Amino acid sequence: MSVTVTPFFHEQTGTASYIVVDITKRHAVIIDSVLDFEIGSGKISTQFAQKQLDFLKRHDFNLVCVLDTHAHADHLSAANFLKSQTGAYTVIGQGILNVQARFADKLNNHQVADGKFAGFDRLVSEGDIIEFGSSEVHFLHTPGHTDDSMSFVIENNVFVGDTLFMPDGGTARCDFPGGDAGLLWQSIEKIHALPDDTHIWVCHDYQPNGREVDVCTTVGKSKANNIHVGQQSNEQDFIELRNKRDATLAAPTLLYPSLQVNLWGGSLPKQENNGMKYIKIPLTVESKSWRDE
């Protein structure tokens, strides 16, 4: 084995970001990076991402690329910041184009309308390979949570984004536009078809029953013990359970801030003519009794 995996846990959003290093050539990739964001004040900072940059510098590792498993709806990606600091290129699944198109009207942002600007340096599909040092990232398309979701296989590790949680956490929601519980089941079968000793690294841990943070399990343990898709489960029961649970969930607090940054590779919104940048929240107005002045 020639890679090491170092998780960094962002407590405010329960997100695990990873630095994977090819130790033979000291080349590194970062998976699912995070910007710090306070929704009340609009303050964006790079403390968490800077910790990862410091780690790379301290060990003299060379960052090759920054990968996102999907367009996250619960935290802001630091991909663009990390690229600006290191020259690393940014990567996401080809499905991001669908997600961008879907939200273009809702966010009144048509950067992608001419098909020229995706906000990422490289879009990948199942079967693609990215090399770093003497190691490789292999891509699996694992839709269901979102339709752009990809899982990354690096040696005996798979980085699953929100396709799976730890066994006691089950699975992520499938009710976002483009989400589909049946597709998620099939994607999980794809991950569970990897060798039993493959390490599964999850993107979130919400510490069920107050346990310590844990972000790594194995295919064998996930197949045996996952509370939603473990050995006692079947596809039909899973779809019913997932849909029933999703119907009770509120929109994530950082949904719109996340999308407005993450759809464009972690770029911040354009500066307006007063020199400020803004995050927009589309309003749904139930009463028709308002009069626009």
Which residues are at the interface with Fe ion (CB under 5 A)? 72, 162
Nearest CB to Fe ion, comparing residues 22 and 68: 68
Nearest CB to Fe ion, comparing residues 27 and 72: 72
Residue nearest to Fe ion (CB): 162
- In the complex, the smallest distance separating the C-beta of residue 162 from Fe ion, rounded to whole angstroms, is 4
- In the complex, the smallest distance separating the C-beta of residue 32 from Fe ion, rounded to whole angstroms, is 9
Nearest CB to Fe ion, comparing residues 119 and 143: 143
The answer to whether the beta carbons of residues 47 and 11 sit under 8 Å apart is no
Nearest CB to Fe ion, comparing residues 72 and 83: 72
- In the complex, the smallest distance separating the C-beta of residue 203 from Fe ion, rounded to whole angstroms, is 7
Give the C-alpha separation, 148 to 4, whole Å. Answer: 26
Phi then psi dihedrals of residue 155, to 5 deg: 50, -125
The widest CA-to-CA distance across the chain, in whole angstroms, is 66
Phi then psi dihedrals of residue 100, to 5 deg: -60, -45
Amino acid at position 164, single letter = L
- In the complex, the smallest distance separating the C-beta of residue 186 from Fe ion, rounded to whole angstroms, is 18
Q: In whole angstroms, how far apart are CA 60 and each of 45, 78, 131, 224?
A: 24, 21, 19, 40
- In the complex, the smallest distance separating the C-beta of residue 164 from Fe ion, rounded to whole angstroms, is 12
Q: In whole angstroms, how far apart are CA 90 and each of 80, 119, 145?
A: 8, 9, 21
Nearest CB to Fe ion, comparing residues 27 and 145: 145
